[in-house]
Structure 1
């Protein structure tokens, strides 16, 4: 082979390799969006962004994953608490300040967006995030994000996880949230969200966990919640919710945990709650009144049942003894009277389960 032919062949090979590299690299627009996102953040201890170099953001950029076919950025997964080597080597959890740049919205094929437990990230959730049509996961737990949940959040028809717990978010729950018909996990705990729970929340038919505790929510519990067939965990505790407990909650097919403690709920305890599939029921620190329904049966199985700090009166229903299991029971700080039943589950309970009532007696309290 002549020298000229060899040079020409080499040039063709180099050209083909460069073209191949360009085809398999992430688009320059995605790379630019990631760098703009990075520029709005400061991570001083771990150096997680040190790998964000080179032209191919799909190759060894920490926390970034791309679609294998399109080479578009599909996932951003940055967690401040992790078991990965970079955290173990530093012997610390992560800390990051700054804000979430709207440049993230230029990643139009983004499927999951996790920037969780960094403690110092502030600013607001970019409203444009609601216009990312492929987004399935938003996980921003454990930061200092303020502002509101974007009002257009309901546009995200593929969204399955929305977790903004442990932040400084205010405003109300957007009405459009009820349009998230694929949503399975909703966690807005420990923020400053106020206003009512939307009456249309029952449209979230795929929802299995609704964690709304530690906010400033008010109004009544929407009866439509009982139409969420898959709901297993409902936590509305530590809010300002008032009115009665809907009887329909006790008729839900898979509801196992119901926390309504530390609200302003009134009325009587629905019979359905005590003869349901709920195993962890906390109604403490409300304004419930009337008798504890004598409605326990073999279907009743409670790992924890807390009715303390209410205005309940009358005697302890004897039917509790027919429950399949009662692990923890707290009836303290009410106006109950009469003899504490004997036998299971009362034989393993301590006095703290019964104190500060009007006239309860019998073991483990004083004799009648």
Structure 2
């Protein structure tokens, strides 16, 4: 440590002196003093504590960066899921439009049949009810999309009323490999890295505590400057009008710890316990990440299979509706058969779009655990 001090004093005194030989002296004196000093205390050895402290602070900075990285990865995963949820809802809106078009044609056919006496009015009324239900579902879907967009804007710091279009499809990486994801996950998952840093920080704290048992050696030095000006003196033979003192001194000092009530030993034990606790926390979190990765990959594999199945189902459901509609036009099927085919198509759309979104969520979760977002 390097410190500097300085002071300036002004004195005004009235002095009177009587001597044994009868002499008398009296004067009003004024003086000023200037003092300055520079002190240097340099620790040469403290049991290497200074180096452990420096490294611990560096590790704490690294821990903070990894903690921020963990929050960023989690936030990115949330934004991705929210964004593709909007895409999902838009796909459902598109499916509703398809169903509305089919219902409109169904209403027209039912109306024609009723007009020529080949159909019953309840069939026409039911077709109109189903059409209105789809239109109401469309209004609700548009409202939901607007709400989800505003929620996404809020979470990303954008203006709440900001309008934009999202993509029409949900891209999915179907080639993720468990071995690739699990390999070196302790080096890529920022949460695990941050927890491991706490072990490093705790170990360095142990080194700091152990260093307190060793002597501390310091280099000490000081430069002093002092100046006094006396305007007048009562006794000029012994009191100078001006004086100046300056000089440099230096040396070494050592502090040897002998006994402090076993406080250092207690602090070392506490630091060792912190290391053990952090290691247990790391092992627990590492196990949880591995379990989460395993479960997420199983879900990912299931969603891929479900997606393939639902893509096949949607083709079958579309063909079924087309056939039912043609049969209804020709009068060889009932309104009930066509309605059942429509409901099957609606369910197939819902399952397909849900499978796409769930597969994307599973993919995002795997990449989040890996730390690759």
TM-score, normalised to structure 1's length? 0.17
- Tell me: higher relative CO, structure 1 or 2? Use CA pairs within 8 A at least 6 residues apart: 2
Larger radius of gyration: 2
TM-score, normalised to structure 2's length? 0.17
Q: Relative to total residues, which structure has the larger helix share, 1 or 2?
A: 2
Q: Relative to total residues, which structure has the larger strand share, 1 or 2?
A: 1
